[in-house]
Structure 1
Amino acid sequence: MAELALQLQFGALSEAGIKAANEDAVACQLPAAAYILQHKGACFVLADGVSTAEAGAQASKLATERFCQEYPQTPDSWSVAYSAGQLLATINNQLYQFSHKFAHEQKGYLCTFSALVLKSRTAHFFHIGDSRIYLYRDGALQQLTQDHITVLSEQRQFLGRALGMDAKVEAQQGSLALQAGDRFLLTSDGIHDFLQPAELTQLLATVADPGQCSRQLLDRALANGSDDNVSAIVVDITQLPGQSLDDLSSELTRLPFPPALSPGMKLDGYKVLRELYASSRSHLYLVEDEATAEQLVLKSPSQNFADDVLYIDRFIREEWIGLRIQSPRVVQVIRQSRPRTFLYYLMEHLQGQSLEIWFAAQPQPLKPSLAIKLVKQIAEGLQAFHRMGAIHQDLKPGNIMRLADGNLKLVDFGSVYVAGLAEIYSPLHHEGALGTATYSDPHYLLGHNSGVQGDVYALATIAYELFSGGQLPYGPAVEECRVASDYDRLRYRSANQFNPLIPTWFDRALQKGVSLDLSYRYQTISQLLTDLQQPNPAFLHEEVKQQSKSNPLLFWQLLSGFWFITLLLVIWLFLLRR
């Protein structure tokens, strides 16, 4: 007899009501794949943009969509509470950064947030603000969430907590055992502020179809004078799984590390073809999916860290980061559809070689058109990380694959930092003679996280190397630096001394990109790219100013030439008008 599975029905609506625009948002994710439904569950999310915030609508839309899209991508080994907590931290950080980025426009990206995750025989809820989640069971209505409202007086109260309000988010969370026949209700204040509990109970009890129930909730609230946006989600539990998954055991029990694999061995339906790479930290194998004949790369942790909890958590997070980042310039991590008996994850198999190996075999220096094409592709990959609030932190030619068609893809998520997550920063581990110390921001190596600017430094260093024929901005001495005073002694080497074709403005852009002074270094990848592709007037002005100091006669010659050209232009315009 087939094992019972979780079955549910739902209806969701969100409308502007009498307002001109709708700042509410709802999103629902009911996985079609039975494996994902069993191991991650279904999620239902409602958010209400804070009316006093200019970007409340954008905040609620971003929060609901990202949660529903990314929650199923979290690792199977993470509990529901941990998965939701990590995801909410990243969403909150993005909204918080948006609010500060547009502070001059007084745009606040704030919203309330309520999420319901149904997995196996358990309901999990997460809540911030004054939207609500109710449970209707056996004829009784229970409010599961509490309103985060601070009351000053009968006439004065304000929202005490919202997503995007602070750098760290504190969400109410809870769970309860499901029963067949349970009905859940998520509402914005445009609904529950205008419907008494008895009226909510009556509608939930008498309108069987969840879609029609949502419709009547909105209509009744508007009829009662609701002057706000109106949103509701109704979810019915129609069948529970035959056996309960022990979530606590799942959270505490770690998958074992796989043994050393050799060609011909099989693991969860994947046949090992050959080993691709091995180090003291991890192993890569080329495998074939026996069900589809597709070739993939399997990454497994090293037995050296079998008892290192922080290493295990970091390895699991690698898979999550890779699943979140979707870009043609970043290696694709594969979402698995079969249970795992060991700890590992899968990636697409890239046919090609590392940029490090390819570059070493090329005539030096590269043609400028080819070099700038490579830099732009690397930049696209980095920007895909940055859009998701992640920093690569270990960008180097050895972590960039050049495919057979000449395109590039970034690989290796082992050192990625995700903004907004509570974690202790630790300096990068370096392996090999040409290690990450060559390309990593010295601020990283000294234990300080410089965020996006760290990736800017790495990209500018690689650009310098590509255009200068394999040289480095600070020379080989950067490899010997250990403390801050060592870096203070470094001096930038002009790139055009190695390649005379490099113009001064281009060299100035490279110098700014690898500056050890964060206040001078570019803030974003796009700023660096702009100055590498077109002359920055500030650099040109600086060049003329320097030349004028060293050669006063040249300065007056340039000035006289400028006025002479201006005079010819005036005469030409005068003749045209005659």
Structure 2
Amino acid sequence: MQQLCPPPASGAAGQGLRIALGQATDRGRKPSNQDFHAASHPGQPQGSLKGMVVALADGISSSTVSHIAAQTAVTGFIADYYSTPDAWSVRKSAQRVLAATNAWLYAQTRRSEYRYDSDRGYVCTFSALILKAATAHLLHVGDSRIYRLRQGVLEQMTRDHRVWVGSHEHFLERALGVSQYLQIDYQSLGLQRGDVFILATDGVYEFIQPARLCELIREHGDDLDRAAGAIVEHALGHGSDDNLTIQLVRVDDLPPASALEFSSQASELAPAPLLASREQFDGFTVQRELHASSRSHVYLATDNDTGETLVLKVPSLDLRDDLAYLERLMLEEWVARRINHPNVLKAPPQHRPRHYLYTVSEYVQGQTLQQWMRDHPRPDLQTVRDIIGQIARGLQALHRLDMLHQDLRPQNILIDALGNVTLIDFGSVAVAGLAELKPATGVDPILGTCQYTAPEYFAGRSGTQASDIFSLAVITYQMLTGQLPYGTEVAKATSRAAQLKLRYRGLGHYRQDLPPWLDEVLRRALQPDPARRCQELSEFTHDLSQPGLAREGMHRPALLERNPVLVWQGISLLLGVLLVLSWWRNPG
């Protein structure tokens, strides 16, 4: 809809995006306020690279917990949006964060007493405005609204996701947390100096005429907080029986052309060039190359501003045009920023704009587990338990955030001189709810290393936490024996029938000093069928340290595994006896 209104005064020209903000909220005639709103306008470089965020969420009256959903949606969105890679577009960053938020809210309802009645669960509407450079990005689900007031014209920019079942009764067609699948409206609009954006819940816009709304904004144009408060008071005075929240955002100035060009480049950064020792690059001094492969080049560098020693990773020359790989490269830093755990690699906060695509992480001095295994070909069981326990704790930090590592292997695990373990390389990590925003194109590629990848991936199925447990169990087996439990056969088993033919080879074939019960622990964690595998990391590490006595008796290894020489001696003896009997019965 459109409504003519006098335009507000605009700010003077300046050197960047400059806005004025006003906000107001009131519980109205309700016993509590289930709305939640917030705004964030960070300093540089995030202000230029990610923009300003204004968001509100409206809880539904049928739910006693929707205020939790509203607060979680707004605060979580703002925090996680600014944690996404700077090379991602606004749309991609925002939609991926909202997909994860929706998945979490839906899961909370499914775990609660309201799992069979979503209208009483963790559900809310959500509307967000992101202003970056000279563009407004709108994201919306539910029946809160976003308006734009431009040169006297008030226009509703969002669509109400309502289904009417009568002249006075309706229900929400879409909202955060209602379904595990989220469909969110997105649009981008060019900004003009003097534009005013209005975010409002239904407790406001249903009880004020557009002309009066514009009039109050004009009357209090120098103080948008007062304007927002006056609009709320007007709606209350005209019968509003719901919570009331409104946000007013006025564009007082826009960045000059050069700043707009820089902002555009930040969303489509060119891959960083290959670097050389002592080279100055993007605020860093390169010390030396640490590692090079067909996928990336890794360098030790010093941050010129802080003096901190860090690691830079740039894409290899062969993959600079592979958009999927470049996205996974940037995902590494996004994951590292979200997790704070001593066994997981960290990414420092960014304090400068980047001019190229690369990742930055902390420097961990040590060796890979692959090299450690070469130096320790027959480690004792307790040492293996300690290392595997640290790896498991790092994996648990990912799993708690609904992430799967998907490429757990000795090359992606570092051990320092004190025995401390750090998980690295998160380019293959899967984040729940962050499915690619495009139609499925078939079976997803296998991102992990074949020798350590769980069988279900080769059958075209999605991974679970049990898939990471399989990879961890392969590493455990390899640390103890120097071998792989199924050799190279797992990658060839692409059907269920082929996977059921996989045969675990007992530890006794390689080491006689290991306790027999250990085979049962590893055999269970290495089950080709993920449903028969350990489902929790804590279960695997507990069994690795404190095996159940009952399990040892109930699942005693077969004689062939415990003493294969004796079995074959027995078979040879039996064949010899049969041969003698055959000759005795038929001597001629």
Matches within 5 A, 1:2-81: 4-33=15-44, 35-53=45-63, 55-81=65-91
Preserved contact between residue 78 and residue 251 of structure 1 (Cα < 8 Å): no
Q: For residues 307-336 of structure 1, what are the alpha-carbon distances to aligned partners after superposition, in whole Å with 9 as ceiling and x for unaligned?
A: 333333333333333333343322123444
1:123 is matched with 136
Q: For residues 133-169 of structure 1, what are the alpha-carbon distances to aligned partners after superposition, in whole Å with 9 as ceiling and x for unaligned?
A: 1223445433221111111221331101112333332
Letter aligned with residue 30 of structure 1: H
Question: Residues 216 and 359 of structure 1: is their aligned pair in 2 closer, same or farther, counting only changes over 3 Å?
Answer: farther
1:305 is matched with 319
* 1:488 aligned to which of 500, 516, 522: 500
Question: Residues 381 and 54 of structure 1: is their aligned pair in 2 closer, same or farther, counting only changes over 3 Å?
Answer: farther
Letter aligned with residue 504 of structure 2: Y
Q: For residues 418-439 of structure 1, what are the alpha-carbon distances to aligned partners after superposition, in whole Å with 9 as ceiling and x for unaligned?
A: 3331265533357xxxxx3332
Question: Residues 26 and 514 of structure 1: is their aligned pair in 2 closer, same or farther, counting only changes over 3 Å?
Answer: farther
* Offset, 1:523: 3.5
Matches within 5 A, 1:200-211: 200-207=213-220, 208-211=222-225
Preserved contact between residue 133 and residue 185 of structure 1 (Cα < 8 Å): yes
* 1:428 aligned to which of 446, 451, 473: 446
Question: Residues 249 and 12 of structure 1: is their aligned pair in 2 closer, same or farther, counting only changes over 3 Å?
Answer: closer
Greater mean alpha carbon deviation, residues 3-12 or residues 244-253: 244-253
- Is 1:267 aligned to 2:268, yes or no? no
CA distance in 2, matches of 1:128, 1:393: 32
Question: Residues 10 and 464 of structure 1: is their aligned pair in 2 closer, same or farther, counting only changes over 3 Å?
Answer: farther
Question: Residues 363 and 181 of structure 1: is their aligned pair in 2 closer, same or farther, counting only changes over 3 Å?
Answer: same
2:461 is matched with 448
- Is 1:518 aligned to 2:530, yes or no? yes
Matches within 5 A, 1:308-387: 308-362=322-376, 364-368=378-382, 370-387=383-400
- Is 1:234 aligned to 2:248, yes or no? yes
- Is 1:437 aligned to 2:450, yes or no? yes
What TM-score results when the alignment is normalised by the length of structure 1?
Answer: 0.81
Q: For residues 222-278 of structure 1, what are the alpha-carbon distances to aligned partners after superposition, in whole Å with 9 as ceiling and x for unaligned?
A: 444443333332323232223375579937984433443221222222222111111
Greater mean alpha carbon deviation, residues 508-517 or residues 14-23: 14-23
Greater mean alpha carbon deviation, residues 150-159 or residues 520-529: 520-529
* Offset, 1:41: 0.5
Question: Residues 361 and 22 of structure 1: is their aligned pair in 2 closer, same or farther, counting only changes over 3 Å?
Answer: farther
CA distance in 2, matches of 1:240, 1:13: 25
CA distance in 2, matches of 1:279, 1:104: 51
Letter aligned with residue 52 of structure 2: A
Over the aligned positions, Cα root-mean-square deviation in angstroms equals: 3.4
Q: For residues 89-130 of structure 1, what are the alpha-carbon distances to aligned partners after superposition, in whole Å with 9 as ceiling and x for unaligned?
A: 232233334444447754633221101001112211110001
3-state SS in 2 of match to 1:310:
helix
- Is 1:141 aligned to 2:122, yes or no? no
CA distance in 1, matches of 2:126, 2:512: 55
Question: Residues 453 and 172 of structure 1: is their aligned pair in 2 closer, same or farther, counting only changes over 3 Å?
Answer: same
CA distance in 2, matches of 1:521, 1:103: 29
3-state SS in 2 of match to 1:85:
helix
Preserved contact between residue 401 and residue 411 of structure 1 (Cα < 8 Å): yes
CA distance in 1, matches of 2:216, 2:539: 56
Question: Unpaired runs of 5+ in structure 2?
Answer: 1-12, 560-588
Share of identical aligned residues, percent? 39
3-state SS in 2 of match to 1:62:
helix
Greater mean alpha carbon deviation, residues 90-99 or residues 283-292: 90-99
* 2:196 aligned to which of 180, 183, 186: 183
* Offset, 1:31: 0.6
Preserved contact between residue 140 and residue 201 of structure 1 (Cα < 8 Å): no
For the pair shown, the structure with the greater C-alpha radius of gyration is 2
* Offset, 1:16: 4.2
Greater mean alpha carbon deviation, residues 180-189 or residues 408-417: 180-189
1:243 is matched with 257
2:586 is matched with none
Letter aligned with residue 37 of structure 1: G
3-state SS in 2 of match to 1:45:
strand
Question: Residues 131 and 480 of structure 1: is their aligned pair in 2 closer, same or farther, counting only changes over 3 Å?
Answer: closer
2:3 is matched with none
Question: Residues 480 and 321 of structure 1: is their aligned pair in 2 closer, same or farther, counting only changes over 3 Å?
Answer: closer
Question: Residues 356 and 244 of structure 1: is their aligned pair in 2 closer, same or farther, counting only changes over 3 Å?
Answer: same
CA distance in 2, matches of 1:222, 1:61: 23
CA distance in 2, matches of 1:67, 1:463: 38
Question: Unpaired runs of 5+ in structure 1?
Answer: 431-435, 551-578
Question: Residues 122 and 249 of structure 1: is their aligned pair in 2 closer, same or farther, counting only changes over 3 Å?
Answer: closer
Preserved contact between residue 49 and residue 353 of structure 2 (Cα < 8 Å): no
Preserved contact between residue 492 and residue 511 of structure 1 (Cα < 8 Å): yes
Q: Looking at both structures, which has the greater relative contact order when contacts are Cα pairs under 8 Å and sequence separation is at least 6? A: 2
Question: Residues 215 and 343 of structure 1: is their aligned pair in 2 closer, same or farther, counting only changes over 3 Å?
Answer: same
Question: Residues 278 and 196 of structure 1: is their aligned pair in 2 closer, same or farther, counting only changes over 3 Å?
Answer: same
Preserved contact between residue 507 and residue 514 of structure 2 (Cα < 8 Å): no
3-state SS in 1 of match to 2:74:
helix
What TM-score results when the alignment is normalised by the length of structure 2?
Answer: 0.80
Preserved contact between residue 18 and residue 229 of structure 1 (Cα < 8 Å): yes
Query: In the comparison of the two structures, how many residue pairs are matched?
Result: 534
- Is 1:476 aligned to 2:494, yes or no? no
Preserved contact between residue 135 and residue 143 of structure 1 (Cα < 8 Å): yes
Preserved contact between residue 365 and residue 499 of structure 1 (Cα < 8 Å): no
